[in-house]
Every structure is written in C-alpha cells, then in structure tokens.
Structure 1
Amino acid sequence: MSSMSASRTCTPLISLVVPCYNESAMVGLFHEEVSRQLRSLQGVGYELVFVNDGSRDRTLDHLRELAERDPHVIVIDLARNFGKEAALTAGLFEAVGDVVVPMDADLQDPPELLVEFLAHWRNGYDVVLARRVDRSADGLLKRSTAHWFYRLHSRISDVALPENVGDFRLMDRKVVDALKALPERHRFMKGLFAWVGHRTTVIDYVRSPRAAGTTKFSGWKLWNLALEGITSFSTLPLRVWTYLGALIASVSILYAGFIVIRTLLFGADVPGYASLLTSILLLSGIQLIGIGVVGEYVGRIYTESKQRPLYLIQARYGRGPSSALPQTQDEV
C-alpha cells in the first residue's frame, strides 16, 4: 500500500457543507437522513456545516435548534443573501474536515453515496465526482438547457466541465485549500472545482425528486449563472466580435466593388430607403451586442478591482470561530 493510501486509513473527519436559502421545510429532514448515514460510517468523524444565506423564512430558527441539540452541527449565518456561490465558499472556509462534501439541502443527492466517496478517497483519489445519469426528476427544459450549457462551456473554455456533475462531490483537504487560495470575487464554483484538478474519479447515481419545498433557482437565475460560467473561463465571446467585424467589413468591401462596377456599366439608380434602414438597424444592433459583451467583462474587472469581501458573517452557532479562518475575520 502506498504511503498516501496508508495515511487515509486513520479516522478521518468529514465535513458536509450545506448552503440553505428558504429551506425551512427541508433542513430537519435533511439533518435526520444525513446524520443517520454518517453515524453508520465506522471510524469516521463528521460535522455538518450549514450556511444560512439570508433566508426569509424560519430556516435559521430550525438550524439554531439543530445546533443546540446536535454537537455535530455548525451554523453560519450570513448578513444577507449573497448567493449560492458565496454561501458555498463560506462553508468551504469554515469546514475543518480532512474531506469536504458540498450538498444541497433538498435530498436530491443521496447521502448513501458518502460510503462510496470515502472508499474512493481511501484508494488515493483527491476528488470523487457524483454524475447524474438520470435527471428525470428535473423538467425537460432544465435538462435540455443544462446539456447544451455543458457542451458549449467545454468547447469554448480551457477548462472542461464534467457533464451532469453538480456541486455534490468529495474533495480532499488539499483540494479545498487550493480553492480557498483563489482570490477572485466572481466565483463560478463548478468551474473552479474543475480548474484546481487533482486525481479524480466519477461515480454515477440517479437524481431523486425533492423531498419537500421548491427549487430556488428560477430560469433567470440559471441563465445568469450560465453567463457567469462562460465569462469566468473563456474570452471567446470577446474574440468573436473581431471575427464578426472582419466578416462584415469584407462583405461591405465586396458589395462596394459590385456597386462601382454596376454603376460604370449601367449608370446610377436611386436605391430604396427600406434596405438602407434595415442595414443601419442590423449593424447598430450588432454593435450594441458587442458593446454589451465588452461591458460584461469590464464589469467583472470593476467588481474585482473594488476588492469587496465575497460575504459577511453575521453569527455562528454551534461552534466558536472556525480554525479555517483568522479568529477575528468575518468576511472573505
């Protein structure tokens, strides 16, 4: 057995990072089911790091109750809703386990896979991905758009995203430390997970329907997340406008030559205003789209240059300030 594998036969601490936004109907069920699975693991310590991302229902109240009666529960209450990517980052900074597993609170990702996760980790893998082979629990539109997004992102980006793999995965401590060292404020976590690399394996599973409650990701939020992913890992949208401009200029030069030759051979005629107006509106629209794409990247530069913290922590329950952060630091 290699030294790396031998070092993983000791009693590990597994941290589950669970971002929560308006999940009052789910946190109790999630805690009960996941705790049952974790207690069944022999020779494994665990902690449940819940991150309340500015919930407007009674999610925080339920989480505080869990923290009071279960010493394994840690609750991080953010000052407001910063978004799932920020909440997930906060959980990664707070988790102190040898391995970290991000999970959603909706129980669509089966806790039973934790056994397989740990088995692959003990065999030397630093990252164990959970790939959804059956997404019938999701709507047809969501499945179709997700499929095309993964394909598009992998084609235009230097970092290929594994298709049908979400945030649910196991990561070794060195992988988590690598993620924590990345300073960017715009964080597309699926892309960052892929970017840090390390030795990776994949296990397949069937995605279940939600046990209770409703999804918090609307079509608009998913669209913005897709734009975030594309602009975070590819500059192709910027380069496209160079090629498009060259194409339009080439066509214009050819058409100008055609007009000159036609005028010399047949004389001048009076062109219609309809075609002129159409051309002006078309080119103006293309220019505005190009400016919008440039503005998207400029906006990212502007946000990064301000160096505002990614999130602010309002309170912690169930444990003092985490050893994963400086004792006085409540922001990242």
Structure 2
Amino acid sequence: MGYRIIYSVVVPIFNEELVILESYKRLKEVMDMTNEEYELVFVNDGSIDSTRKKVELICEKDDRVKLVNFSRNFGHQAAITAGMNVAIGHAIVVIDADLQDPPEVILQMIEKWKQGYEVVYGKRAKREGETFFKKFTSSMYYRVLRGMTNVDVPVDVGDFRLIDRKVCDALASLPEKSRYVRGLVSWVGFKQTYVEFVRHERFAGETKYPLNKMIKLALDGITSLSYKPLGIITYVGSLFSIIGVIASIIVITKNLISGTHILSLGLILSLNIIMFGIAFLSHGIMGQYVARIFEETKERPVYIIDNIVNYKQQAIQRKKVN
C-alpha cells in the first residue's frame, strides 16, 4: 500500500552553490519534525555554477528530493510556478534557498493550515542585513500597490508562504504568462492568515534580486493587479491642460493691460521640459501595459523543463494514492 505526500516544499534556486547544502539540511531537519510524508522540490532556474550538480547528488541519496531543471533562466516567478505545478502535496510551501526566511517558520505555517487556513504567508516583522534604501522602497511599494488595487495584497510579505492544494490548483488554472505569484495568491482569495518572523541576512552568496530585477518585479505587480496608472495619466493630463488654459488667459490679460510681454525664454523652456517629461512618462506607463499584452498574445509557455530528477519515483507514489 502506498503513502501520500502531505507537504511539498518548493525551493527556486539560481546559482546557490554556496548555500544549497545547508538549505537542504535545514529544510530536511524541519520537515522531519512533522512526522508526515513530504517532498522537497528544488527548481533549478538555469544555474551556471555547481548548484545543479550538488542537488543531483542530494537526489541520489534522498528520493524525497525532486530536482526540476529549466532549459535556461526563466526567472524567479517562473521557477515558483513550475514548482507548484510539479508538486503533489496537500500543502505547498514556497521558500527561497538563501535561508533569509527561516525554514523553522514552516512548522508555524503548518499549524495554521491545520486550523483551516488555506493560505499562510510569512510577514516580516524585522529585516536584518538590508540597507535602509531597500527597506524603505519595499515598504513604500507594497503600500502603493495596495492603494492601487482592490485586491487585499498584504504588506511586508514576499513569496514565503504555505498554500493549500485547492489554492495551488486555482493558480495553475490562471492563463497569464507574466506572473506575479504573491499578487495572484491574494487575488484568488480563500481563507488567509499570516505568521510573523525575523528575516535574516543571506547565509552565503549574493542576492539574486538586484535593483533592476526589483523594479521589473514591482512593475509586474502593478500592471498585473491594477489599471489605475492609466487613469492617473488621464487625470494628470486633464489637470495640466486646465492649468495651461488658465495660465494662458492670465498671461494674455496681463499683456493686454500692461502692453509688455512677461514670459521669459527660460520660463517657456522650463514649461516645455515639464510637459515633455509628463508626455514621455505617460507613454512609458502605457508602454508597460502594451508590453504585457504583447507577452500574453505570444502564448509562449512560462518555462521549459529540461528534465526532472526523481520524477519516476514521485509519479509512482502519486498513482498509488489516486
């Protein structure tokens, strides 16, 4: 008689050779404490260091570990999506390999899940080892995002969370390609709660989310969940049009009364620069939405899998359960 997988832990990885063994060790220790069946699903997002080889060696020793290898680098959100699609557990946990999010918090998430919650996300009470700039911009972004959408997107929250199987299936049914997973989890709804934790410094290695990737993720989040920036363009354009008309009337009236020209060349150039700046900003915002539409219409897959290590063993277990 077969047994069923209760927990699937999805771990997206990209060039994590310095931390992957410690990450596996910590995750294994935590999941062993549940005394229930689990699997660790590492998704290799096109690593070019020894990460893949190290996880393959782990797979040889531990058949509960599954390794999904992409054909190239498709990005963090694609890796999370692939892990969720491959996972067969009743509850799916998403956690990065860098150990900034403590694996021990998973046990608290499981307790909440067993109480009936279908989404349990980790909320950062404190962030260690991060610059003031990153903390400030991250805090502001989530509050701006929340104000721009009707979806209840929690603040100070990343992708570290536990979701129920029904939530995972709901996410899999969404057809969009440019995925902002943490926003989509909020969008699908279900009974949600959180556990607080202290986010630590990276165990080793460098961050895989430099400024340019953070900006792209932020834009994906806004364009995925809100169309309000397009409305803001309309309001700003209307406001400046009204200001321009009023200013023109004032200038013409004063010129007629005084018989002199009061506008200097510098003032005219400054006003033109402001208007051109607003015009280019408006086109840029519209361009983000057009680019998103373009990506969706191509209908390319979110990711391409090269191979999955330990897939056969997991497939046999799933058949036994079904």
The TM-score, its normalising length taken from structure 2, stands at 0.92
Amino acid at match of 1:201: T
Question: Which deviates the most, 269-278 or 303-312?
Answer: 269-278
Matched, 1:130 2:141: no
Specify whether residues 65 and 11 from structure 1 end up closer, same or farther in structure 2 by C-alpha distance, changes over 3 A only.
closer
Matched, 1:170 2:172: no
> Secondary structure of the equivalent of 1:195?
helix
Counterparts of 2:148 and 2:111, CA distance in 1: 34
Regions of 4+ moved over 4 Å: none
1:327 maps to which residue? none
2:178 maps to which residue? 186
Deviation at 1:177, TM superposition (A): 0.4
> Secondary structure of the equivalent of 2:159?
strand
Match of 1:81 among 63, 70, 73: 73
> Secondary structure of the equivalent of 1:133?
strand
Counterparts of 2:275 and 2:106, CA distance in 1: 55
> Secondary structure of the equivalent of 2:311?
coil
Deviation at 1:95, TM superposition (A): 0.2
| Contact 1:125–1:201 (CA under 8 A) maintained in structure 2 | yes
**Number of residue pairs the alignment of both structures matches:** 313
Matched, 1:274 2:300: no
Structure 1 segments unaligned to the other structure (5+ residues): 1-9, 324-332
Deviation at 1:59, TM superposition (A): 0.5
1:37 maps to which residue? 30
| Contact 1:14–1:47 (CA under 8 A) maintained in structure 2 | yes
Q: After the TM superposition, which residues 78-157 of structure 1 pair with which residues of structure 2 at under 5 Å, given as runs?
A: 78-157=70-149
Q: After the TM superposition, which residues 160-309 of structure 1 pair with which residues of structure 2 at under 5 Å, given as runs?
A: 160-269=152-261, 271-309=263-301
Identical columns (%): 37
Q: Summarize deviations over 1:50-69 as a string: whole Å, max 9, x none.
A: 00000010010011111111
Q: Summarize deviations over 1:95-143 as a string: whole Å, max 9, x none.
A: 0000000010011222222222222211111111211111123222211
Deviation at 1:264, TM superposition (A): 3.1
Deviation at 1:256, TM superposition (A): 2.0
The TM-score, its normalising length taken from structure 1, stands at 0.90
| Contact 1:13–1:46 (CA under 8 A) maintained in structure 2 | yes
| Contact 1:153–1:160 (CA under 8 A) maintained in structure 2 | no
1:310 maps to which residue? 302
Structure 2 segments unaligned to the other structure (5+ residues): 316-322
Match of 2:11 among 18, 22, 25: 18
Amino acid at match of 1:16: V
Counterparts of 2:101 and 2:236, CA distance in 1: 43
CA-based RMSD of the aligned residues comes to 1.8
Counterparts of 2:115 and 2:264, CA distance in 1: 74
> Secondary structure of the equivalent of 2:223?
helix
| Contact 2:251–2:262 (CA under 8 A) maintained in structure 1 | no
Amino acid at match of 1:25: L
Counterparts of 1:231 and 1:137, CA distance in 2: 30
> Secondary structure of the equivalent of 1:77?
strand
Deviation at 1:320, TM superposition (A): 3.0
Counterparts of 1:321 and 1:196, CA distance in 2: 32
Amino acid at match of 1:145: T
Question: Which deviates the most, 257-266 or 283-292?
Answer: 257-266
| Contact 2:151–2:187 (CA under 8 A) maintained in structure 1 | yes
Q: Summarize deviations over 1:138-169 as a string: whole Å, max 9, x none.
A: 22221111111111111111213211221111
